[in-house]
Amino acid sequence: MKDLVQDGDSLVSKTAFEDGVDRRVFLKAAVGSGFAAAALPVMAQSMVQTDTSGLSAGDHIIVINGQDVPVYRAQPEGRSNLPVVLVISEIFGVHEHIKDVARRFAKAGYLAIAPDLFVRQGDPTKIANIADLMTDIISKTPDAQVMSDLDTVVNWARQRGGDIERLGITGFCWGGRITWLYAAHNPKVKAGVAWYGRLTGDATANSPKHPVDVAQGLKVPVLGLYGGKDTGIPLESVERMKTELAKGNSRSEIVVFQNSGHAFHADYRPSYNEADAKDGWKRALNWFAKHGVA
C-alpha cells in the first residue's frame, strides 16, 4: 500500500488555479469532455486536441472470458496491415486524454488501441479522488489479469487487420509500469515506450513483480522516459533499473528529463512540460521506427 500512496502523491498537483479562472469552468470543460473526475481540474490552455480527420476512430467492446472490455481504437481511414501500438492508461483509465494520444498515434500511421484494463474492478473515471481510486480499483487489479487482457487485445488487433509482427506498447504512469511488464511477458512485442512508470515496489499477490525484477531478462527494447523532479519515482530507483538493464541484452534505454516531474506528458494537467513532452513524443516515434514497429 505504501507504494500505491507514493504513486498517488506523485499525481497530486500542488498548482493553484490561475488568477481569474473560475473553477466551475474547469469542471464543466472536464466533465463535458470526458475527463476522469480525479484528474480535475483540466488545464484547457495547454490541452492538446487531436481531431479525427483522416481517421477511423471509435469505441468497441471485446468479450474476454465473458467480460465486456471496452477499448478505444484509432487508425488511418481506409488503410490496413498497419503497425499496432497498445496505449496503456494512467490510473485514471481511458478518458479523453488517452483517447487523444491514440489519435495522435493514428495520425502517425498506427492502429492504436487503448483498452479499459480496470473494467472488472470499477470505473476509475467516476471516482473523485486519488486515494479512493488507488484503494478501490488500482490495488485490486492483478497484473496477471492485465497481461491476459492485453494478449486478447493483440489478437483482436490481428483480426481487424493489424500487423502484430510490428507490435508496440506505450503507457503512462500506471501504464508505464505495465509497459515494462508486458514487454517482458509477450515476445511478440517489438518495442515499448514507458512514460514515468513505477520501477520498484513491494511484492504482493496482485503485483508479484515490478519492472526492476524483470529488467535483466528483458528481451524487448524499452525506452523509459522519466522526470528528474518526480517525487513519486525517486532517481535512486531509476538508477537501479539502469543497473539491472545493463546486466541483460534488451538494448533498453532510460532518459531522464531533469526539469520535469511526474506526468510531464499530460497536457491537460498542471504537471505538463511542453518542451519535454514534445521531445519525449519524438523520441517515442523514433524508438518505434528504429525497432521495427513503424
- Name the residues annotated as catalytic: 173, 230, 262
E-strand ranges in the chain read: 55-64, 67-76, 83-88, 111-115, 163-172, 189-195, 222-227, 253-257
Type of residue numbered 19: D
DSSP labels, 257-286: ETT--TTTT-TTSTT--HHHHHHHHHHHHH
CB burial readout 89-111, b (16+ within 10 A) else e: bbbbbbbbbbbbbbbbbbbbbbb
Cβ–Cβ under 8 Å, residues 134 and 8: yes
Distance from C-alpha of 228 to C-alpha of 238, rounded to nearest angstrom: 10
Cα 222 vs. chain centroid, distance in angstroms?
A: 13
Sign of CA dihedral 16, 19, 23, 29: negative
Distance from C-alpha of 146 to C-alpha of 185, rounded to nearest angstrom: 11
